[in-house]
Structure formats: structure tokens, C-alpha cells
Amino acid sequence: MGNKIITVLGTSPYLVVNYDNYKNCRYVQEAIVKKRWDEGIHIDEVIVIGTLASKKAHWEKLTKNERDTKADNINNCSLKEKLNELSNEKNFKFNFIEISEGFTENEIWETFQKIDQETDENDNIYLDITHGFRYMPILFIGLLNYLKVVKNVKLEKIEYGMFEKLGYANQVMELELEDRNAEIMELTYFDKLIELSYGMDTFLATGNPTRLTKELDGKMTELQKKYKGKNKHVTSVRGIIKNIDEFHKDTTLCRGESVNEDVQKILAKLDNLKKEENKEIELKVVEKLIEKIDILFCNFSDDEFSNLKELLNYYCEKEMVQQGFTLLNEMIISFIIKKYKSDVTNLNEKAIVKERMRVSKIMGLAVANEKNIEQSDVVLFDKLVQEKELLEISRNIGQHRNDINHFGMRDNSMNSKDLIRKYREMKDKFIEICS
């Protein structure tokens, strides 16, 4: 593990300029190293990527292709010499990694491999994309996202020395040194945007928001500091993050009433978010991503029973079959109460639970066709035995839930594909009955 700068060395004549507050820098790498020092970050290694041509032009010895008369005798050393000078002061390693021009796909893969070999587990990477071939930023995007997974590296910064702001090289040479002021632009946010996009895609596909909420929370914490906690948009997004996390936990652990509350909170906050005005561009970008959450909740309403039916579909789409069977079983009981019993909404929680247990017991007896029941339950029992389709669903739920809960460790256990198919069929049949 270490803090590493990965940078590219080109072949163009590099002129002496002032990058940010760092004066008379022929190489942007010098300014970037000093910038890390000023941030209190100790750099362990600088990895310079370049071709044989760039090595000859700027690494071992500075070769001047054009004469910068206004900068004669100022910083006239190679990049290797400059890094050696800086290393003597701050004690870090530096290395030149020679690559080919990348004229073929195989050559680009070789470059990929060489940079990969220079990184270690848990490295913190500071990437400079100022120079190099035009394909290299794309290469770095793929490589670093790969390394995040296989080596748990962290991309701390992406930076670009904005030399172009000053004009063409011949124009810059005419400028006095004090007027050659270029910015080191940070582009890290766009990597964060990739992470946010991946997180949202994962959430929409699987229902797991862990990656999304982590990235959103980090970004909103950053923006909250920027706006000193006074931006309503940031506050709204943080609220949605919290509710999304609660929704995930409640759906995973089958907290029915809580799920309905979570959905109502999310829908209300999404609606408020759309109404907020005067957002910064980066906030608008985040909002566009968050609006995709509507895909998951567009069919939910303020009716609890309808929302639970929609949750059955949600469980099916995300292949959360165990949770789906659990909800389906409870919804059958709710449906029976709704269809054959008086309204229980005015009962206290204890009374409702007692009633559900009673109906569940009668349902079980009807499934088993056992008529040894209490006299007060006969009427409901006789009605339930006529609900052939419901009884069949209930009977199969018990079998499939046992199959899942016993981890498939019993005779005639069903494979995953068939369990998903059975859940989908039973879910669809129940929704049809309820309609």
C-alpha cells in the first residue's frame, strides 16, 4: 500500500510555466508533487509512463526542440533530474515505465499490463492525464476501475495541467514568465460520477443500494461542506439516501408496514426534489440519476394493500424469492380478512395480530381439510374450503418456504430456477385473484 502518482510523459517541447502557485515548472509533474506536499500527503512513488521517444526527449536528458529564450537557464533539467532533486528533499521513489506507441490493440493491452504491475494492493492513486496519447484517458478509466476491484486501489485524484489556456506553444514563448499562469484542473468528480452511475444501475437491477448510498453520501457530505449546510437540494438528497437504505433493509427483512412508510417518504422527497430550483450543474446531474429511482416506485401509491401487491412484483424482479414467499403468505391472510371478516383497521395492534393468527390457523386447517375446529370458526372454514386456488397457493408456499429454509438439504429439493418460476406463477395467480 502506498500513495502513488501515475503520470504520462510526452515528446512535445515543454515550456516553463506557472502551474497554480508553483512557479517556473517545465514539467507539470513537479507542480503536482509539490501540491501533494502542501496537502500534507507523503508520496511514496511517482510512476512515469512514456515511450522510447519521450524517454530520449525528456527523461534522461532534456532535448530542446524549440528555444524558449525567455526561460533560458530556468529549470533546464530533465524530468528524471527534477524528480531526483525533489526525492532528495521528500524521500520518494520514482520510476520510468517504457511503453510502445499503442498502434495495435495488443500493444495497448501490454501497456495496461505494465501499469497494472506497478500497482499494489490498497494503493492510493493520484492520476495525471496532462500528456500522452489520446487513447490513454480511456485506458486509465478501464484500468483503474479494474484495479478498484482486483487490488482495492483508491483513485484519490485525477488532474490535468491546463497549458492550452495560454495558447499555442509559439504564443506562450512570447509571454513573460510571470504571465504564464496555468491551472491544474481537478477531474476527480467524473470518476465519482461513474461510481454513482454504477451504484444506481446496481440498485435498479438488484435492489441493493449499498454502493449507491455510499457514493451519494460521500458526495453530499462534500457538497454540504461546500454550501455550509444551507443547500436545500443537498439536504433533500441526504434524506432520500437515508430512506433508500431503510427501504432496502425493510424489504430484505420483510418489515411490511415499514416498507410502505419508506415508499411514501421516498415518493414525497422525490417530488419535492423536482420542485427545487436554482441548482448547481453538478447537483442537477446527481438529481437526474436519483430520478431514475422512479422506475422502482412508479407503481406504488398511498394504498397499503396495493403497495404490498406491488412489492410482490418487486421481489420477483429482484429474484428475492424467500422474501416473496413470506409476503405472499401474509397477503393471503390479509386478503381473507379483507374479504370475509369485518374491518380490522380500528382494532389495536395486539388484537390485529391475534386475528391474523386465528385466520392463519383456520387457513392451515382448510389446506389440510381438517374439520376438527371450534364452532365459532366453522363459517369461515366453510368459506375457505371453497377457495380452491387460494388453498393451492397456500399449500405450495409452505412446501417451497421449507425447501428454501432448509437450504435445499432435503429430499426432492427444487433448483433455484424452478423456485423462481414457481414464485412468479403463484404471485401472478394471487394478484389475479385479488383483482
The answer, yes or no, to whether residue 30 has pLDDT greater than 60, is yes
Domain ranges of the chain: 3-186, 193-297, 317-430
CA torsion, ordered 189, 190, 191, 196, to nearest 10 deg = 90
At 127, phi and psi to the nearest 5?
A: -105, 130
> Residue 298 has what pLDDT?
86
Distance in angstroms (rounded) separating the CA atoms of residues 53 and 182: 26
> Residue 40 has what pLDDT?
96
Please tell me the number of Cα atoms within 13 Å of 298 on its side-chain side.
7
Q: What's the Rg (C-alpha) of the chain?
A: 32
The answer, yes or no, to whether residue 166 has pLDDT greater than 60, is yes
Label residue 373 by pLDDT band (50, 70, 90).
confident
> Residue 435 has what pLDDT?
81
Distance in angstroms (rounded) separating the CA atoms of residues 320 and 324: 6
> Residue 344 has what pLDDT?
55
- The residues pairing with 97 across neighbouring beta strands, listed in sequence order, are 49
- What pLDDT digit, counting tens, does each position of 320-362 carry? 999 999 999 999 998 888 888 655 555 677 777 888 888 888 8
| CA nearest neighbour of 133 among 43, 275, 9, 280 | 9
| CA nearest neighbour of 280 among 219, 341, 234 | 234
| CA nearest neighbour of 151 among 119, 176, 175 | 119
DSSP category for residue 285: H
Asked if residue 7 lies in contact with residue 48, where contact means CB atoms within 8 angstroms, the answer is: yes
DSSP category for residue 281: H
Burial readout 24-57 (b: 16 or more C-beta within 10 A, e: otherwise): bbbbbbbbbbbbbeeeebebbbbbbbbbeebbeb
At 159, phi and psi to the nearest 5?
A: -130, 155
pTM: 0.85
> Residue 276 has what pLDDT?
77
The answer, yes or no, to whether residue 278 has pLDDT greater than 70, is no
> Residue 87 has what pLDDT?
96
Label residue 64 by pLDDT band (50, 70, 90).
low
Distances (CA, A) of 103 to 11, 108, 122, 132: 16, 8, 32, 13
- Of residues 61 and 159, more confidence is placed in 159
Asked if residue 46 lies in contact with residue 34, where contact means CB atoms within 8 angstroms, the answer is: no
* Helix or strand (DSSP H, E) at 186: strand 184-186
- What pLDDT digit, counting tens, does each position of 68-116 carry? 888 878 888 999 999 999 999 999 999 999 999 999 999 999 999 999 9
Phi-psi region of 303 (alpha: psi -120 to 50; beta: other; left: phi over 0): beta
Pairing state between β 154-161 and 184-186: antiparallel
Asked if residue 381 lies in contact with residue 373, where contact means CB atoms within 8 angstroms, the answer is: yes
- The residues pairing with 25 across neighbouring beta strands, listed in sequence order, are 17
The answer, yes or no, to whether residue 384 has pLDDT greater than 90, is no
Domain spanning 3-186 has what CATH number?
3.40.50.10640
> Residue 8 has what pLDDT?
97
- Of residues 409 and 230, more confidence is placed in 409
Distance in angstroms (rounded) separating the CA atoms of residues 72 and 76: 7
Distance in angstroms (rounded) separating the CA atoms of residues 20 and 2: 26
Asked if residue 391 lies in contact with residue 366, where contact means CB atoms within 8 angstroms, the answer is: yes
- What pLDDT digit, counting tens, does each position of 219-228 carry? 888 888 888 7
> Residue 98 has what pLDDT?
97
Q: What average pLDDT does the segment 267-283 reach?
A: 81
End-to-end CA distance of the chain: 59
Q: What is the DSSP string of 144-177?
A: HHHHHHHT--EEEEEEEE-GGGG-SHHHHHTS-G
Q: What proportion of the chain, given as a percentage, has pLDDT over 70?
A: 97
Q: Which residue has the cell 395480530?
A: 353
Distance in angstroms (rounded) separating the CA atoms of residues 291 and 296: 10
As to burial, measured by CB atoms within 10 angstroms (0-12 exposed, 13-18 middle, 19+ buried), residue 252 is middle
